[in-house]
Amino acid sequence: MQISDESARGYGCAVANTRSLYDPEINLDCTIRILKRWVDRDGVISGKSGSRWRGGARYWAVLRKTSTLSNIKAWTRSQSYCR
């Protein structure tokens, strides 16, 4: 996912510099940390309440697109480890 080093630091991610975010392990760890914060707070991975986005859609616009979200849901449901 695309994460700025400023955001990474703000969410408590272990990022030494901008290049660190190109490391898949660091990037995914930070992605999960950001997503967890908003999912825990809002109780949804993505959604809208009134005019405000909730869950991961607060941070990532890709989670605001109905077609993209539908594809993500379908793929996740097809994975045996997600049942």
Predicted confidence pLDDT, tens digits, the chain (83 residues): 789 889 999 999 988 888 889 999 999 999 999 999 999 999 988 889 999 999 999 999 889 988 888 888 888 889 998 76
Contact 42, 24 (CB under 8 A): no
Question: Do 57 and 46 form a contact (C-beta atoms < 8 A)?
Answer: yes
Give the span between the Cα atoms of 12 and 3, in whole angstroms. Answer: 13
Q: Which residue, 74, 66, 71, 41, is CA-closest to 56?
A: 41
pLDDT at 55: 94
Instruction: Please give the pLDDT value at position 56.
Output: 92
Query: Quick one: pLDDT at residue 53?
Result: 95
Cα 5 from Cα 17, distance rounded (Å): 7
